Amino acid sequence: MIHQTLEKHFGFNEFKAGQKEVINRIVSGQSAAAIFPTGSGKSLCYQLPALHLPHLTLVVSPLLALMQDQLLFLSAKGIAAARIDSSLSRDEEREVMEKVRSGYYKILLIAVERFKNERFRKFLSGVPISLMVIDEAHCISEWGHNFRPDYLKLPVYQREFNVAQVLLLTATATPAVITDMCAKFNLHRDSVIVTGFYRSNLRLWVKPVADDKDNVLYELLKDAPEQPAIVYVTLQKTAETVAEFLNGKGVNAIAYHAGMKHEDRERIQDSFMDGQVNCIVATIAFGMGIDKRDIRRVIHYDLPKSIENYSQEIGRAGRDGLNSDCYVLANLDNINVLENFIYGDTPEADNIRRVLQAIPLNGSNWEFKLNNLSSVSNIRILTLKTLLVYLEMKGIIKPLYSYFSDYRYSNIIPDEEIAAKFNGDRRRFTEALFAGVQKSRVWSTVNFDTIKEGCGGDRERVTTALEYFDQKGYIKLEAKEMTEVFGVTSPSFDIEKLTGELDLLFRRKELAEVERIEKMVRVFAGDVCLSYALATYFGEELNWKKCNHCSVCLEGKADIKSSISLKPLSGYNFEELTGPFAAKLSVPATADLITRFLCGITVPLISKIKAKQLAGFGTLEKYRYADVRAWVQSFI
């Protein structure tokens, strides 16, 4: 049965390693996890079963690019699939929802954040779902390289929407992460299919470089400029300067990073996929969902963020099975940049305390807007989400729901015509609803309190009515300002004790992330075969210890050093660098806050007072955070 579907709908004669085993489990009504290398066909493990399952297959995917790529593939195969994301107009979103309800679409792709949308959850509660697919499932684990707090709520959503089966997909899961994934979704270990990480067609090279990195890069590209290549860098500005250098040398290269407009990124990605441009110089924003079969070279101009990132990024090379080269232009110059990203995400104890002080202890629910709480606490959004998850894990709070604080609509037909479509109580309620809004020339803003006073209609009834009017095309509805609502399950906590415990958790996480970087450097600078070291890191057991086609096997261990010489921190004038910043602050200038300013690390307070415009911002960005912090502490 599944072989017939494979040939008829997908045009393949045989399965790749692991695919058949996973698909059989899903089709037979079981859950599974597929740990396959990048480019080895994980997506087929849900695409094919979706055609056999009775109801919707819901795919949670972390990036828009992933969704677009998979939708193009499914469309080409004649399989009804759609996505719901922020790029859709309200009319487009409504059309997708209607087709999902009718059963027309077999597959729906969404980002994990979509579950926060009150309107979407209402819609999904009325849709039978056969299978929930979690792409990049390692994001659910704190021990993974790309932990995303919102992923921790996916098991809750699975239960909320009564989804019997789950499929977890990832390319980069260590044994500890696999154990964590299984625990979160209550999967047995025998439900996990791991095919191995070693790919014999990838030749891994670590090339030590000094201050001639640009020319070394050019030498790697010049002999075959027509062959597709990706050059990975750490910083957005590096992507721009390296692409400019290569173009000056006659290599047709283009920069790609998250600081560009969405439409520009799409255009660049399309030009690379179509072969109009053969070299992309990109931050890690590029690559997720890119299924270009003939990428011959992946070059890390800077050290990658981790072994997991490195594995994902080189996995984009040689998907056609032909030999491809993966280079790391290695020195220690950007170690500080990688570490600074980590230190910038660690909140100070006082900031944690501010969040705890905001939790109501009188038995009422805790309602807040994430952006506002981030600003008040001076904690980055992603870090704040992690803090909330820690509080959930400690039993202090539990997520209840999210809702849009503000609703407004513009009329497609007049209020009175809408009200006239109903009789009795429904008409009286509709008239009272419209009487309670605040009207302007185009938009009417909904005031829930006024409406409740006028007709007794609660928020749920009002939003349901507005959704119905919008669905029928009577109005155009808009919602904004997401408010999070948590229940306080243990209001008797000790703020000081809990602050200390949470601070320790973040410090341990910080240490683990720094150690992750150190492990990566040890692999690249070691004397163990690179292919063997990479596979064993992910728990693969090999019966050999030399691949005989990596730089360690062919050339020996790499001597990785720093190529830049920095003057001693004692040579800087502390007061001159930090005085203007301290003068703009309305809170005490802590050692971490000053260090972040000097290292060019943005946190909410630095953005709020526009400190990036001050001369001292980022002056010491080439130094390691720990060294700068020790220097700062000697002055305060």
Residue 491's Cβ-count burial label (10 Å; 0-12, 13-18, 19+) is middle
Asked if residue 636 has pLDDT above 60, the reply is yes
Does residue 163 sit in helix, strand or coil? coil
pLDDT of residue 342: 87
Q: Does domain 2-194 have CATH number 3.30.360.10?
A: no
CA distance linking residue 170 with residue 139, whole number of Å:
9
CA distance linking residue 113 with residue 402, whole number of Å:
11
Does residue 486 sit in helix, strand or coil? strand
Q: What is the mean pLDDT of residues 3-24?
A: 88
Q: What is the mean pLDDT of residues 485-512?
A: 92
Split at pLDDT 50, 70, 90, the class of 478 is confident
- In this predicted model, what pLDDT tens digit does every residue of 170-215 receive, in sequence order? 988 888 899 999 999 999 988 999 988 889 999 999 999 988 899 9
- In this predicted model, what pLDDT tens digit does every residue of 137-179 receive, in sequence order? 998 887 767 778 788 889 989 998 999 999 999 988 888 899 9
Q: Which two tokens stand for residue 212?
A: 């001639």
HSE-up (13 A, CA, CB side) for residue 194:
18
Residues 6 or more apart whose CB falls under 8 angstroms from that of 570 comprise 631
pLDDT of residue 262: 78
Mind giving me the DSSP string for 206-264? EEE-SS-HHHHHHHHHHT-TTS-EEEE-SSHHHHHHHHHHHHHTT--EEEE-TTS-HHH
Four-residue CA torsion sign, 8, 321, 49, 13? positive
Residues 6 or more apart whose CB falls under 8 angstroms from that of 624 comprise 335, 336, 339, 340
Q: Which two tokens stand for residue 457?
A: 């209609």
pLDDT of residue 62: 77
The CATH architecture of the domain made up of 202-332+513-555 is 3-Layer(aba) Sandwich (3.40)
Residues of the chain with CATH 3.40.50.300: 2-194, 202-332+513-555
- Alpha helix (H) residue ranges in 436-494: 448-455, 459-472
CA 522 to chain CA centroid, Å, is: 27
Which of 394, 378, 373, 380 has the alpha carbon at shortest distance from 485?
373
Is there a contact between 488 and 482 (Cβ–Cβ < 8 Å)? no
Asked if residue 73 has pLDDT above 90, the reply is no
Measured at the alpha carbon of residue 366, what is the angle toward residues 364 and 369, in degrees to the nearest 5?
150
Which of 159, 138, 168 has the alpha carbon at shortest distance from 45?
168
Asked if residue 87 has pLDDT above 80, the reply is no
- In this predicted model, what pLDDT tens digit does every residue of 92-121 receive, in sequence order? 888 999 999 999 999 999 988 888 777 788
CA distance linking residue 625 with residue 344, whole number of Å:
9
CA distance linking residue 460 with residue 99, whole number of Å:
24
Asked if residue 289 has pLDDT above 60, the reply is no
HSE-up (13 A, CA, CB side) for residue 68:
15
pLDDT of residue 288: 60
